[in-house]
Structure formats: C-alpha cells, structure tokens
Homo-oligomer: A and B are copies of this chain.
Amino acid sequence: MPAEEFRKSAHEVVDWIADYLEGIRNYRVMPMMEPGSLVRSLPKSGPEQGEPAARILEDFRDLVIPAVNHWNHPRFFGYFSVSASHPGILGEMLMSALNVNGMLWKSCPAATELEQVTLGWLRQWLGLPEEFFGIIYDTASISTMHAIAAAREMADPEARQRGGAQNLVLYCSEQAHSSVEKGAITIGVGQRNVRKIAADDQFRLRTDLLKTAIEEDARAGKKPFCIVATVGTTSITSVDPVSEIVPLAEKHGMWLHIDGAYGGTAALVPEHRHILDGATRAHSLVINPHKWLFTPQDASVFYTRKPDILRRAFSLVAEYLRTAEDERVVNYMDYGVQLGRRFRSLKLWFVLRYFGREGIIKILRNHIAWAKELACVIDADSRFEVAAPARFSLVCFRFRGSDEQNRLLLDRINADGQAFLSHTVLNGRFVLRLAIGDIKTTREDVMETWKCISKLADTL
C-alpha cells in the first residue's frame, strides 16, 4: 500500500474509532439479524484483483458493523463486560505495527523486558510476593491449561516422557469455569477425573467436601494432584475459601491454582485486597487484564511461584532457537505451548500508566458501588429477586416468575437493543446476569438499563 494511502486510511480509521467510541450509545448493542445474513451479503469467492482500502472500509461500516455485538458498548452487560480503553487501543495499534514475536529475549528484548516490568508492577499492586514469576498468555483458558500441565509435572515428573496420567485427580467447585474441565481433558487427565465439588449456599466451594473427596480418592489409590479455586466465579462471582483450601493442598502436596481471571482484579482495590489473601501461598494464579482491567483482548496474566516446574513441563528448544544469551535471560517460549508471542505487555503498559493505580481503583470502586446500588434497587422491587449477594460488579437477579418468563425477559431486553445481558442457571433456576465492567459505563447507564428492564417486565 502506498504510504500516503495508508496514512489517509489510517487517519480515517482513527476518526471512525474516535467517533464510534464517542457516539457508541447511538448503536444498538446486539444486532438484529438472522444467522447467515452477513455470509450471504459477501461474495462467495475472494477478489482476483485487489481493492482500494476505501472500499473495504465502506463494506466494514455497511456490512460488518450491523452484524457486530458491541462488546465495547457501555451498556454491554453480558458475560463479563470487558473494555478496550483508549490507551489500550493505542497500545494495540503500535503492537500491530511492530509485529514482533517475543518468543526469545533475543527475538525482541523489548517484548521480554516490558513483560517483566509490567507484570512486576501489577504483582506489587495485587499484593503478591516477589517470588511470583509472571507471563502473559492469550486467554485464561490457556493459562489454566498451563497450570494443570505444571501440576501434572509436579505430581508425575515422568508423565512428560511417558505420557498418560490416568491416575491423577483434579478438584474444583461445581461453579468453576468450563476451561478447568477443558484443560483437564486437553492435558489428558480425563473428564471423569475432574471432581466438581458442591458449593455452599453462597456458591463457594465447600472445603469439607473437598477434604472428603481428596481423602477418598487417595484411599482408592488415586493421586489427587491439583485444586483449582476461583476468586470470582463466572456465573455469580462467588469466591472460594482459598485460605481454607491452602492447607489441604499443602498437606497432600497438590498444586493449587487460583482462577481470578475476572475477580482477581478487584484485589487492586485496598478494601478488596483480602480476596487474594490465601493466594500468596497458591502455586499459580491467573488474572485477565482483558477482562476488568481495560486492556483490549487478548491478555491473560499468569503468575506462578514455581516457574521451574512450568518450564520443565514445556521447555523444548530447537536448534534454530538457541541463543548466546540463553543462560542470562528469560526466554518466555520456554514456559508454554505457544511459540508465537505478541507484544502484549505494550498495551498493558499503556493502560497501567495512563490510569495509574489510583485511577484504576477509582473505576473499579465505581463499578462495585453501582452493582451494589443496583442490587438494592432490584431487591426493593417486589417483582424481582436478587439471586445472590452482589460481589464485585456483577448482579444476578430474576423476575419472580417462571424460567420461561425470565428467558422471555432476557430476549426482550436484548432485542430492544439498548443493553445486552446474559444469563446463567443457579440452583436450577434461570437467572439474569448484569455485569458492569466497561470503562465507559456510567451510573446512569446502569440505572437507565434497569428502568428499561423494569418496563419490559411489565410486558411479561
């Protein structure tokens, strides 16, 4: 592309992005479309001759955008609300232009060293001890898979060579994220060796049942090797009793992994710091800056007290990747499956610096406060009930009626287009989830959305 065409197009893209983010409340959140309609609007074959950037951008605006569910919308309250903040976007722009692969220190020293620096800052802010080694993976699913692989390496060092691990048993709460089970399946632990321990009435893993399960498995000749505790479960953001779980893990020599992909971020706020109290004695911990830390996808931060074990599980250096600096530097590729590693610390560095610790705390506090306030408002409305105490920035609630009515309500909210919510099932009942987390969200966004929900409830 001629330099001038790029300059012109890229400035146009910046203006589009700036306008998009500024005027995003004018967009409906979820698109109204039939499956396949975007496919049908595009050619069945790619173009033989190239096309000017202007035409592609036109199609982007006219065809792609109407099919987008706007995750970066301040009234996107589904799943976990994430946001690509402005400084995060600047970081991504530069990442894409540099296009480095930080597999080795030598392949891009800046990528390795900025990763060490930013993860050091974040570690301090989270109150984690200095011994925690940090690495950025793409997603929490991959982070957790690495934790399980490291756990296997610790429990059964022969497994790397020999393969197989039929005897290993992994424990998590029934509320744990599906990636725990998926990780265990992938690693070869087997789905039936994943014990999903029942949770208490606050949706926290029951330590007494965990203890019994571990002891029973051990007696039966199984090898309990890994516990995954969650700080901020996906359905309901409940927090497992990590401090109670630690001694159990230690007693049985098990790897303890903390899934704080969403909730862990709350530990940046002094009055919530305690949620990671036990985590300092865990073996590993995942926190996703691309969830509640205003960093564009993807960026999943993994800390471990046992980097040597992680390295032993994965290191495999091809001849063409040996460097003279190997003994003196961290080569991040040694600590994971992926050889290709984007310069993800760059966007995280932009975010941490632009907002600063105090700026981030302020936003997180707002989100948490608005969630609490909303929960009170819902609680005061006799047509509704709050499904569980609002922790962090998620409110789970339901219309006092049938599951069918709640499903209908959710469909109507989303079809209305002014906000997007998702659902879960708690104690067998269909529950609506409103997750606050976008950096652009205001108290008014939350309260206006509630008004809209309240009005739609009248139509049930």
Residues of chain A at interface, number, CB under 8 A: 160
Q: Which residue of B lies closest to A42 (CB)?
A: B117
Is A202 an interface residue when CB atoms closer than 8 A count as contact? no
> Is the CB–CB distance between A56 and B350 below 8 Å?
yes
**Residue A459 interfacial (CB < 8 Å):** no
- Which of A101-109, A279-287, A379-387, A444-452 lies at the interface? A101-109
A338 at the interface (CB under 8 A from B): yes
User: Of B53, B317, B356, which one neighbours A51 at CB under 8 angstroms?
Assistant: B356
A51–B354 touching, CB < 8 Å:
yes
Stoichiometry, as copies per complex, reads: 2
- Complex interface: chain B residues within 8 A of A321 (CB): 178
Complex-state Cα separation, A106 to B113, whole angstroms: 38
Please give me the residue from chain B that is nearest to A184 by CB atom.
B163
User: In whole Å, how far is A319's beta carbon from the nearest beta carbon of chain B?
Assistant: 4
**Docked CA distance A42–B113 (Å):** 10
Interface string of A136-179 (1 = CB under 8 A from B): 00111110010001001000000111111110100000000111
Other-chain residue from B36, B340, B422 in contact with A138 (beta carbon distance below 8 A): B340
Question: Which residues of B sit under 8 angstroms from A67, Cβ to Cβ?
Answer: 108-110, 113
Q: Are B22 and A339 in contact (CB under 8 A)?
A: no
Are A359 and B50 in contact, CB atoms less than 8 angstroms apart?
yes
Interchain CB contact (< 8 A) of A125 among B1, B17, B46, B64: B46
A3 contact set on B, CB distance < 8 A: 18, 21-22
* Contact digits for A273-308, partner B, Cβ 8 Å, 1 yes 0 no: 000000000000000001000001110100000000
Could you tell me if A10 and B14 are in contact, using CB atoms closer than 8 angstroms? yes
Using Cβ atoms and an 8 Å threshold, which residues of chain B touch A65? 110
A71 at the interface (CB under 8 A from B): yes
Stretch with Cβ within 8 A of B (4 or more), from A81-89, A203-211, A239-247, A252-260 = A81-89
Bound together, the chains give a CA A318 to CA B236 distance in angstroms of 13
Q: What is the minimal beta-carbon distance from A243 to any residue of chain B, in angstroms?
A: 27
Task: Give chain B nearest CB distance to A227 CB in angstroms.
Answer: 17
The 0/1 profile, CB within 8 Å of B marked 1, for residues 409-427 of chain A is 0010000000000111100
A33 at the interface (CB under 8 A from B): yes
Cβ of B297 and Cβ of A358 under 8 Å apart? no
A188-B164 CB under 8 A given contacts A31-B109, A317-B178: yes
Residues of B within 8 A of A141 (CB): 337-340
B84 touches A97 (CB 8 A): yes
Can you list 30 A-B pairs, Cβ within 8 angstroms, ordered by A? A3-B22, A6-B18, A16-B94, A31-B109, A42-B114, A45-B121, A46-B118, A46-B122, A46-B125, A46-B356, A47-B353, A49-B356, A50-B354, A51-B354, A67-B113, A69-B107, A93-B93, A96-B296, A138-B338, A141-B338, A160-B191, A163-B168, A164-B166, A164-B190, A183-B337, A185-B313, A186-B187, A186-B314, A187-B187, A320-B422
